[in-house]
């Protein structure tokens, strides 16, 4: 009897953690579903109330928020003369679903971060909590900067290159509608994640996994890996121009990460000296 009671006492915390995790996952799924339905099945109309213009939501599958974003993709990213075409029957629907899912994930990210933080925070030390709180805003800004770089520079240049190459080959300049949307979303996501490099370096230094001197001593590897990442996420159809641009920017971010790592290490050493005294 005592053995059974002791075993239950040991297993109860684990079961409670699993139950809490499932509850938070359920909340995240519900939040994602809410935003997905909002973007995929509702549009925005503007009504005039006195001297104010007020946006309102209304059910619309053909003029939804996701559809508006897809139209902007086509109008902004494609050069004049490059025509999107539908190859498979459900390509437009799948494209709208992809954009709605991307927007839902982006909109729900603060709620996802909150649920994740609430789950892991009790098991962290105070300095770890402080560091994570400090990295939230830089992480969002770096991802946004990378996505914007892809959206406004990489993708338009890539489609322009494809269009001019089609003209040079004397073929009809058309692209699959599904491939246009998937390429835009993929490049925005990949470039946004690549721009998180300095934050990853700073985090590894903060956790004591890599010293700042190690980052500096291996800067050649850092630059080489930056250009490898640029080669992976770039469209590969620009004659090396975009690859070189991305590689140069990632290399600069690598050296920025070295600087941040030195600052973190210096601050940690000062804190240890104060504690010792």
Average pLDDT, the chain: 83
CB 213 within 8 A of CB 267: no
Q: How high is the pLDDT of residue 2?
A: 45
User: Is the pLDDT confidence value at 271 over 80?
Assistant: no
Residues in contact with 70: Cβ distance below 8 Å, sequence separation at least 6, in sequence order:
95, 96, 99, 181
CB 81 within 8 A of CB 171: no
User: Is the pLDDT confidence value at 157 over 90?
Assistant: no
CB 68 within 8 A of CB 43: yes
Q: How high is the pLDDT of residue 3?
A: 42
Count the helices and strands in the chain (H runs, E runs): 10, 4
List the one residue out of 14, 127, 151 whose CA is nearest residue 72. Answer: 151
- Look at strands 52-59 and 42-49 and give their pairing: antiparallel
Instruction: Please tell me the distance from the alpha carbon of residue 200 to that of residue 196, in angstroms, as a whole number.
Output: 6
Residues 135-141 have a mean pLDDT of 83
Q: How high is the pLDDT of residue 33?
A: 96
pLDDT digits (tens, 9 = 90+) for 238-256: 556 677 878 888 899 899 8
Q: How high is the pLDDT of residue 230?
A: 82
CB 253 within 8 A of CB 229: no
Question: Within 13 A of 51's CA, how many CA atoms are on the CB side?
Answer: 0
pLDDT band at 10 (very low <50, low <70, confident <90, very high): very low
pLDDT digits (tens, 9 = 90+) for 162-221: 888 888 888 888 888 888 888 888 888 888 888 888 888 888 888 778 888 999 999 999
Helix (H, G, I), strand (E, B) or coil at 235: coil
DSSP per residue, 123-156:
GS-HHHHHHHHHHHHHHHHHHHHHHHHIIIIIHH
Structure tokens, 217: 């001593």
Which of left, alpha, beta for 225 (phi over 0: left; psi -120 to 50: alpha)? alpha
| Helix orientation angle between 241-276 and 197-206, rounded to the nearest 10 degrees | 20
């Amino acid at each position: 009897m005592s053995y059974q009671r002791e075993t239950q006492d040991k297993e109860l915390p684990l079961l409670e953690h699993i139950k809490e995790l499932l509850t938070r996952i359920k909340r995240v799924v519900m939040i994602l579903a809410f935003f997905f339905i909002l973007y995929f099945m509702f549009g925005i109309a503007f009504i005039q109330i006195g001297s104010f213009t007020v946006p309102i939501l209304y059910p619309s599958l053909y003029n939804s928020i996701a559809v508006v974003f897809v139209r902007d993709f086509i109008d902004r990213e494609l050069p004049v003369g490059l025509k999107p075409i539908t190859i498979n029957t459900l390509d437009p629907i799948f494209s709208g679903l992809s954009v709605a899912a991307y927007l839902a994930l982006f909109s729900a990210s603060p709620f996802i971060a909150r649920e994740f933080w609430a789950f892991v925070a009790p098991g962290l030390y105070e300095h770890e909590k402080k560091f994570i709180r400090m990295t939230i805003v830089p992480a969002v800004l770096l991802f946004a900067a990378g996505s914007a770089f892809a959206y406004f520079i990489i993708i338009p240049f890539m489609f322009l290159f494809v269009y001019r190459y089609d003209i040079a080959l004397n073929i009809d300049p058309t692209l699959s509608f599904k491939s246009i949307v998937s390429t835009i979303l993929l490049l925005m996501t990949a470039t946004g994640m690549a721009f998180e490099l300095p934050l990853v370096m700073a985090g590894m230094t903060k956790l004591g996994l890599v010293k700042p001197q190690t980052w500096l001593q291996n800067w050649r590897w850092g630059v080489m890996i930056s250009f490898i990442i640029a080669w992976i996420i770039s469209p590969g159809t620009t004659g090396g121009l975009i690859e070189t641009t991305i590689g140069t920017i990632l290399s600069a971010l690598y050296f920025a990460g070295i600087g941040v790592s030195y600052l973190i290490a210096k601050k940690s050493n000062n804190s240890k000296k104060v504690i010792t005294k």
